[in-house]
Amino acid sequence: MKVKVAVVILNWNGRKFLEQFLPSVLEHSRDDADVIVADNASEDDSVSFLKKNYPEVGIILNKENGGFSKGYNDALKQVEADYYVLLNSDIEVTENWIRPIVDMMHTDEKLAAVQPKILTYHDKGLFEYAGAAGGFIDKYGYPFCRGRLFQSMERDEGQYDDATEVFWATGACMFVRADLYHKLGGLDEDFFAHMEEIDFCWRLKNKGYKIMCCPHSKVYHVGGGTLPKSSSRKTYLNFRNNTYLMYKNLPGNRIFRVFVARCFLDFVAALKFLMQGGFKDFIAVIRAHGSFWKHYKKIKKKRKAIPHRYISKIYKSNIALDYFIKGKRKFSDLDKGKFS
pLDDT of residue 98: 98
Question: Any idea where the domains of the chain sit in the sequence?
Answer: 7-221
Class of 7-221 in CATH: alpha beta
Distance CA 29, CA 116 (A): 15
pLDDT of residue 306: 86
pLDDT of residue 286: 95
Task: Tell me how many degrees the CA angle 299-303-308 measures, rounded to the nearest 5.
Answer: 155
The DSSP call for residue 281 is: H
- Low-confidence residues of the chain: pLDDT under 50: 225-227
* Strand 164-166, strand 173-177: pairing: unpaired
pLDDT of residue 205: 94
pLDDT of residue 259: 83
- Integer CA distances (angstroms), 162 to 134, 205, 221, 289, 340, in order: 11, 21, 21, 38, 17
pLDDT of residue 111: 98
pLDDT of residue 1: 56
Q: Which residues contact 200 (CB under 8 A, 6 or more apart)?
A: 113, 184, 186, 187, 188
pLDDT of residue 318: 93
Burial class (CB in 10 A: 0-12, 13-18, 19+), 283: middle
Burial class (CB in 10 A: 0-12, 13-18, 19+), 128: buried
pLDDT of residue 93: 98
Distance CA 193, CA 195 (A): 7
**pTM of the complete model beyond 0.75:** yes
